[in-house]
Structure 1
Amino acid sequence: MKNIIFDLGAVMFEWNPKKISENFTDNIELQNKIQTELYYHQDWIDFDNAIINEAEATRRASERLEIPIKDAKRLFNETKESLILISKTHDVLKQVKNKNLNAYCLSNISPELFKHVYDQHDLFELFDGIVTSGVENTGKPGKRIFEILLDRYQLNAQECLFIDDSPANTATANELGITTVTFKGLDECYKEIYSHI
């Protein structure tokens, strides 16, 4: 493989809506509501795709969750802070570059969340290209964002390995001829990745 394509959430950075909601409140009903009415709601997809900005997403979340706007803002801030670097995946990225392979980032992430992780970490300088839903206004598992990555950087799909935690996303990549690892954070996943590089 010449090109290794990394997702960010739950691959390069921790992404655990259940844990975020549990840390935010002891109220189990609200925890469940945060997951269904924020992270797994259409508004979160629109937020990722920059159709709505953080201020609007926060306002809508405040209304749906029936919590004060200041609490909704705190929830969004805690969401950003939860994006902790996964060191074992960072090591994979460094190995990729040490072997003179190309590394790319392909992520569904809002401009606001991307800015947060970009400002916190210098790993982004290791990528040869970055494509995000917040810039392109379209996201995985749709084919368009994959096509943008392949076209922009003139990549041959057969020479690419894509690492993502979502089976729907890896299924789309497979349809385009890209080799995939559906990432679950297990040792077996890392072994599979290393077998390709």
Structure 2
Amino acid sequence: MIKNIVFDFGAIFINLDKEKFALELQKLGISQQSDEVLPILHQYEMGLISTEKFTAIFEEKLGVSTEEFTKAWNAILLDFPKKRLNFIQELAENKKYRLFLLSNTNDLHISWIQNNWGTELYDTFKKCFEQFYLSHEINLRKPNIEIYNFVLETNHLIAQETLFIDDTKENTEAAKSIGIEVWHLIPEKEDIVELFTKNSL
């Protein structure tokens, strides 16, 4: 029986435009998947390098200003549908499940979200979760197994009683490998508000 639900953030609650993101970075001469860039992105996502150092790397390598880079970097972030806020608030209020957020979210992205949403909305959303784990704050990232074990062990959760929801199959497969129940949500076809129609909880 599921007692705990762990949610991803991007594409689960806030809409993302991953294609535009990749395109905007390409315009600046940055390929997310290059052997040179990928380790830097992962380090930043885990909070192992500061935002200042992160933007400086691209300014130095490619002559891209911090302002240009930040605009391109945040191009992935879109809107937060009200129905999803209502959904998670209602789920939190009924207290049937322990709710957690686990996201590969970096400092620049969460700063944009806080500014775009405003403090009241951001705090309202955050309070729906028992724990709000962002990769850059805990120095771990999905799909590394350590991050799932961290959530389970820190909160005394049993894997088989825990449902993890993410839009990236690599992430759900990693969680599944240690016994966590998963829902690989496909944003173009499904929505988090369909949680109870798409899953037998």
TM-score higher than 0.5: yes
Would the alpha carbon gap of residues 74 and 112 (structure 1) be closer, same or farther in structure 2, given more than 3 Å must change? closer
Tell me the equivalent position of 1:130: 132
Tell me the equivalent position of 2:54: 57
Q: What 5-or-longer segments of structure 1 have no aligned partner?
A: none
CA deviation after TM superposition for structure 1 residue 17, in Å: 3.2
SS of corresponding position for 1:126? coil
CA deviation after TM superposition for structure 1 residue 34, in Å: 5.4
CA deviation after TM superposition for structure 1 residue 173, in Å: 0.9
Tell me the equivalent position of 1:108: 104
- TM-score after normalising by structure 2: 0.78
Would the alpha carbon gap of residues 196 and 102 (structure 1) be closer, same or farther in structure 2, given more than 3 Å must change? farther
**After superposition, what is the alpha-carbon deviation per residue over 1:32-84, rounded to whole angstroms, capped at 9, x for unaligned?**
745556xx7222211110111111111222344443344224334x448x253
Instruction: Give the conservation status (yes or no) of the 8 Å contact 2:6–2:100.
Output: yes
Separation of aligned partners in 2, 1:166 and 1:15: 13
Identity %: 22
CA deviation after TM superposition for structure 1 residue 192, in Å: 6.2
Instruction: Give the conservation status (yes or no) of the 8 Å contact 2:12–2:192.
Output: no
Matching residue within 91, 98, 103 for 1:96: 91
Output the aligned Cα RMSD: 2.8
SS of corresponding position for 1:103? strand
Tell me the equivalent position of 1:46: 43
Q: What 5-or-longer segments of structure 2 have no aligned partner?
A: none
**After superposition, what is the alpha-carbon deviation per residue over 1:96-149, rounded to whole angstroms, capped at 9, x for unaligned?**
224322210011112443344356322001101122211221111111111111
Aligned residue pairs, count = 189
Normalized per residue, the structure richer in helix is 1
SS of corresponding position for 2:43? helix
- TM-score after normalising by structure 1: 0.79
Instruction: Give the conservation status (yes or no) of the 8 Å contact 1:165–1:184.
Output: yes
SS of corresponding position for 2:102? strand
